[in-house]
Amino acid sequence: MSVKLGVLNSFFRRKKFELVPHSHWQALDRDVDYIRAVDNLQSNLINYIRRPCRSIDLQPVDEDGNSILEVHIHHDALLEKLWKYLAIALIHRDDCNIDAFRIMHIQLVPQVMSQLERALRTKRLKTLFLHDNNFGWDGIVFVAEVIKANKTLTALSLNFNGMDDLDSAIQLGEALGGHPFLESLSFRHCTFGSDPMTLRAIVTACRSVKFLDLRNTDIGSEGAATVSEFLATNPLVETVNLSTNSFNALDAAVVAQGLSTNTKLRILYMSNNPVLEDGKKALLKAIFDTTSLNAAAASNHTCELIFDQPQSVREYASSCIMGDCNTIIFTSDLTYYFLHFHQYRSNGNVNKQFHRSGHEQEEKDRVCHP
């Protein structure tokens, strides 16, 4: 053990940490669940400061460690010393070799992020999850700097945070574009603002990403165009989730244009989008175009589409009359059905054989929910 580590360990062991008194939170009109959650946050911070750790996981929890989903912990000046001590421990203690860092439903302010950024620069993170942290442009810059310093990072999740500042989005895009191993990227429930260049700066930089989650981001028609252009470049991405984005039939047709020239995408989620029949048909045609033998041969046979209701799409799929169709997945009420098309020719006639089987758990296991 180094002298520095020994001194720090001794200091943190002797240091008497006192929790913020309940009267402080009561004066701020915080309820019982909030006070319980902030008490446990302080206790967890103290444990991470005092003991060796391989991961940091901070979120509102009760005494049993169960998440309190209704609570969001706001920043308070009385908590700043604990954040400072955590950063010091991460920087100087050799036994704090963390590879996962998660902070969820806790506000992060610039002074705290500045301390954490210096600490995380010294690590070899594989996972960085920051959810619902109420940060602005400075939070995006913080993430970009951590990404640049951690070339080992494979999973980044920024769910429920604002991403609507163009300048910081460009910095994040540059960090993503220069990263060799990042495979999973989630922006679920993020806001990208009214400037389409914000989303474009981030998405087009995802060179190594294999899973991209844009659920509930309300990216609109311009976002559909951005995703389509991205898919048309045939990137490495294998799964894209565009569920619940209010896409209409025209938006689906735009996405289909990019999909038609893509050969690497394996799964495209379009659930809970009012794309109607025309939108579904455009997407299916991009995968398997039956207008001619040449069109069928040139179609993308690798991607599985996931919608809400199977009936109308099944009717369209049953009209396919040539070529081998790919597997199409339909979802409804958490039941997953595989609709396989097997064609064979007999006496010059085209016949079809349909098989349908449930694969709920198999498909659940395949879907990443960071």
How many Å apart are CA 194 and CA 178, to the nearest integer? Answer: 26
Name residues whose C-beta falls within 8 Å of residue 207's C-beta, 6 or more positions apart in sequence.
176, 177, 235, 236
Query: Token digits for 330?
Result: 């339909």
How many Å apart are CA 165 and CA 197, to the nearest integer? Answer: 10
The amino acid sitting at 310 is: P
Mean pLDDT, rounded, for 201-225? 94
* End-to-end alpha carbon distance in the chain: 36
- φ and ψ at 335, to 5 degrees? -105, 130
Q: How many angstroms separate the Cα of 202 from the Cα of each of 113, 133, 198, 207, 254?
A: 21, 19, 7, 10, 19
What pLDDT is recorded for position 293? Answer: 73
Mean pLDDT, rounded, for 345-359? 35
pLDDT digits 0-9 by tens, 62-100: 888 888 888 999 999 999 999 999 999 898 877 778 999
What pLDDT is recorded for position 287? Answer: 85
pLDDT digits 0-9 by tens, 247-281: 999 999 999 999 988 989 999 999 999 998 899 98
- φ and ψ at 288, to 5 degrees? -140, 95
| Lowest-pLDDT range of 14-18, 57-61, 312-316 | 312-316
Q: Give this prediction's pTM.
A: 0.81
What pLDDT is recorded for position 5? Answer: 56
- In three-state secondary structure terms, 104 is strand
Mean pLDDT, rounded, for 194-217? 93
Question: Given a cut of 60, is residue 357 above it in pLDDT?
Answer: no
Q: What are the residues facing 330 on neighbouring strands?
A: 307, 337
| Cβ atoms of 67 and 61 closer than 8 Å | yes
| Cβ atoms of 169 and 198 closer than 8 Å | yes
Band of residue 14 on the pLDDT scale cut at 50, 70, 90: low
How many Å apart are CA 305 and CA 328, to the nearest integer? Answer: 6
